[in-house]
Amino acid sequence: MNQYLPYFTLLPLLGMAICAFLPGRSERLIFLTSVVTVGLHILAMLVYGVLWLLGQEAIYFFEGPILYQTHDSHFSIDFFFDRVTAAYGLTASVLTFLVLIFSRYYMHRDRGYKRYFTNVMFFFGGLNLALFAGNFETLFIGWEIVGVTSFFLIAYYRDRYLPVKNALKVVSLYRVADAALLLGIWLCHHSFERNIKFYELLDAHMLFTHFTENPVYVVVISSIFLLVAMVKSAQVPFSSWLPRAMEGPTTSSAIFYGSLSAHIGVFLLLRTFPIWEDSHVFRGIVVFIGLITSLMATMTARVQSTVKTQIAYSSIAQIGLMFVEVAMGWHLLLLFHFIANAFLRSYQLLVSPSVLSYEIHDQFFHFNPPKHPDPKTWWGKIRLTFMVWSIKEWNLDALMFRYLWTPLKTIGRALGFISVRAIVLLITPVFLVGLFLVYNRPQVPSLVQEVLPSAMALLGILLALKAFTERGKAQLNWSLVIMNQLFSALSIGLNEQFDHGQILLFLSGIVVSGAVGFWCMWKLERSGELVTLDRFHGHSFYYPGLAFVFMLASLGLSGFPITPTFIGEDLLLGKIGERQLVLLSFTALSLILDGLVTFRIYARLFLGPNTKGYHEVAFRSS
């Protein structure tokens, strides 16, 4: 039984690969490929589920291919199956199956038909990898795929401004969650001194003895996972991204943001529940967050004047209650609640365009002008207050902006006095000196040795921050990102344990992606196009192929699991010692920034309205 687990991920990925090679106009083939794949997936899930129910074991585990192994780290793709996987997996495949059939004619003749189906299949593959993951590393890969396909489906209408803006907004938050998840994995690694597998978490005795020895870890690890879950499931204060993600076709909104994507945070909490099960304080915190979210989101849903955002907030409210259910240990109820909410919100979104005629008809026969809240009463005032706050979405969107991005931008802008060119000139000698020191470590005084890695990492971050706010030539910013990555590698190289192979592994993807990126920009410039970051250029309009290649380069450069950089990233993180919190936070920040900057460069060059030539261009506000 175990050995079949990987196929639940491979099957959709295979479907996606076939879709990707089909000609864009053969709607029928694209549809058939994806629907047959997902149909088979449902059948397999059902058969597997029945056998699992009939069988003796509550869980299945399969150790997949080992991607990398040294004496202290072990990176393998593992698979795991329990009732959570069963409930999430079956819901995901049934929903995806139905939505794909729905999309067949819904998306007919859309110019991105193939892009849509390939993305949904990629998403479905990634989601299954996350759901069937047997360890955190595997989960992380799936997680990244879900995140990046979300970006592509939010920015699906890539020639308009708002989808691109909102996609960047969402992916920035996702990036924070991704980095946090990596941190969580790092902490687990250090705490358990090995790569932990999910079935091991079920060993209560092991966990108990482990955590009574390291009580701090419980709080820290769990908090980090909670943060990740809150971001991905749009809990307060991270709620505002979910309604803004409703930019793609209704079908993709239904499957992603109405249901599957939004519930993945709850899934992570279920997976990590054994870690924090015994901490009543922590469980209290989760209950609190869930309750607050469900209250605030319900009120926000009440004042929404658009159908899709109303459904989004209602979904957030129910997910808040699911947080409560996880923490209270009512997991069976939670699974039912999840299935019901996922289907209900998907359905509501799919039929949301009907609301207009239905409600107008209803109003025609039953309209009574609603009463105003009485401002003289205390309750009336409170209601009005809540209404205003809810309309303003509790300022959550502005809050995110002010506390997450503004500080970064402020630092970046503070570096405005120095030009990118000057930086490149100044920083190269520093890098070379650093490189020299890597190979001549004994000569360096020990005090310097201690701060040097952090200093290098900090330099890298400053480079990334500079790139984050720069509006000039894209090539220079691209090189800043590459240099940031090089500095990260350097800082690890200067750190105590040093492994040539791992750094090379890390850099291999960076170099290739970096070079491909430069090539794309060179091609653009040679065709007489602007390659600057001062606005969105929308080059994908005239250069869709180049846009695709550059997108791959961007993914590679930001450590997405399509190049070995990704494994290197994980391994390098593992090299950071338990006490090196400064270096760790710098490295994590640098990871976040890299992603933000590369996505920003990709978006500014290839997405948004293309105003060159005489063709239809959307208004900015539409």
- Cα 332 to chain center, whole Å? 27
Place of tokens 């909102």: 166
State the minimum distance, in angstroms, from the CB of residue 339 to another protein: 7
Give 101 or 219: the residue with its C-beta nearer to another protein.
101
Q: 275 with 207: CB under 8 angstroms?
A: yes
Per DSSP, the residues of 310-365 read: HHHHHHHHHHHHHHHHHHHT-HHHHHHHHHHHHHHHHHHHHTGGGHHHHHHHHHHH
Question: Which one, 394 or 550, has the nearer CB to another protein?
Answer: 394
Cβ 432 to another protein shortest distance, Å? 36
Instruction: Please say which residue, 294 or 495, places its beta carbon nearer to another protein.
Output: 294
Nearest CA-CA partner of 194 in 179, 206, 205 = 206
State in angstroms the smallest separation of the CB of 100 from another protein. Answer: 10
Nearer to another protein, 333 or 422 (CB): 333
Q: Which amino acid is present at 362? A: D
Nearer to another protein, 165 or 210 (CB): 165
Count other C-beta atoms under 10 Å from residue 327's C-beta: 25
Least distance (Å) from another protein to the CB of residue 268? 21
Shortest Å, Cβ 384 to another protein: 4
191-230 exposure pattern, b = at least 16 Cβ within 10 A, e = fewer:
bbeebbbbebbeeeeebeebbeeeeebbeebbbbbbbbbb
Residue 137 vs 247, nearer CB to another protein: 247
d(CA 24, CA 106): 16
CB of 345 to another protein, least distance (A): 8
165 vs 604, beta carbon nearer another protein: 165
- Cite the DSSP H helix spans in 61-112: 83-106
Rounded distance, CA 308 to CA 531, Å? 36
CB of residue 301 to another protein, shortest distance in Å: 5
Nearer to another protein, 442 or 613 (CB): 613
Spatial contact of 90 and 46, defined as CB atoms under 8 Å apart: yes
Q: Both tokens of residue 206?
A: 């092991």
As measured in angstroms, the least distance from the Cβ of 249 to another protein is 4
Cβ nearer to another protein, comparing 346 with 565 = 346
CB 144 within 8 A of CB 570: no
| Structure tokens, 505 | 């592994």
CB closer to another protein out of 190 and 244: 244
Residue 595 to residue 174: CA distance in whole angstroms: 10
Q: Decide: 258 and 346 in contact? Cβ < 8 Å.
A: yes
DSSP-derived secondary structure letter, 443? G
Cα distance between residue 598 and residue 557, in whole Å: 7
The minimum distance between CB 170 and another protein, in angstroms, equals 12
**Per-position b or e across 273-310, b if 16+ CB within 10 A of its CB:** bbbbbebeebbebbbebbbebbebbbbbbebbeebbbb
What does 257-290 look like in DSSP terms, one character per residue?
IIIIGGGHHHHHHHHHHHHHTT-HHHHHHHHHHH
- Residue 358 CB, nearest approach to another protein (Å): 5
Report residue 26: phi and psi, to 5°.
-85, 75
- In the beta sheet, which residues pair with residue 161? none
Read off the amino acid at residue 407: P
Judge if the upstream peptide bond of residue 370 is cis by omega within 30 degrees of 0: no
Our CB check for another protein shows the closer of 184 and 609 to be 609
Minimum CB distance to another protein, residue 389 (Å): 5
Q: Which is nearer to another protein, 135 or 259 (CB)?
A: 259
Min separation Cβ 507 and another protein, Å = 37
How many alpha carbons lie under 13 Å from residue 405 in its C-beta half-sphere? 16
Measured from the CB of residue 381, what is the shortest distance to another protein in angstroms? 6
Q: Which is nearer to another protein, 244 or 537 (CB)?
A: 244
Rounded Cα gap, residues 270 and 246, in angstroms: 26
